[in-house]
Chain A
Amino acid sequence: EVQLVESGGGLVQPGGSLRLSCAASGFTFSDHYMDWVRQAPGKGLEWVGRSRNKTKSYTTDYAASVKGRFTISRDNSKNSLYLQMNSLKTEDTAVYYCARSPTRDYWGQGTLVTVSS
């Protein structure tokens, strides 16, 4: 059974940093693209970024809104995906989901990040 479990969310002050994790199981992690998607309170879904698979050398892409501040990485030995978030802004407040890509056929339960002073 495919499972994705996010962790690492919490309250952080503007300008601060946070690292989210996504633990994957039930599939060959290195074979798959993985996305981070976020949802601000009461708003729609927003794609944050992507980590491609081994075939594509694990290259990454980012939304313009987070490029230069967020970094996606993965540890295939731990079947884990990470999202390092720096220089956080209040508008980054959202539930962050990891999803198996490119169709996003499986999603984690999400982890809430609140950026507030």
Chain B
Amino acid sequence: QSVLTQPPSASGTPGQRVTISCSGSSSNIGSNNVNWYQQFPGTAPKLLIYTNNQRPSGVPDRFSGSKSGTSASLAISGLQSEDEADYHCAAWDDSLNGVLFGGGTKLTVL
């Protein structure tokens, strides 16, 4: 059972802006950085956003991250068909002394 809560699914049409939420608590998102990962079926996850809002080299600026209090969000603007994937958030938890992942959100481009 994930302590970081994500919606199981999200959808949008090409060109649209979509946001995916990740809700936690004071011991994880509230006091630590959030990372986001993109995963296509049958492949390893790929780092998409680190330290709440930083993009690794090569990640399009259509992807952005934000954090406020005990929640974080991933926004994808100018949605493209190739963005159809699973998205996972993660943060360290000070109480558990470990990393928590969200349950993942399956993004469908209609």
Contacts and interface: CB of A to CB of B under 8 A. Distances in A.
Asked whether A and B interact, the reply is yes
Interface of A: 35, 37, 44-47, 49-50, 61-64, 97, 99, 102-110
B44 A45 contact: no
Contact of A61 (B47, B90, B97): B97
Contacts of A49: 98
Contact of A104 (B35, B51, B104): B35
Interface string B37-70: 1010000111100110000100000000000000
Interface of B: 2, 35, 37, 39, 44-47, 50-51, 56, 88, 90, 92, 96-104
Contacts of B99: 35, 47, 50
A45 B104 contact: yes
A109 B43 CA distance: 7
Q: Name A's interface SS.
A: strand
A61 B98 contact: yes
B22 to A, nearest CB: 12
Nearest to B100: A47
B104 A44 contact: yes
B45 A104 contact: yes
Given A44-B88, A45-B88, A107 B45 contact: yes
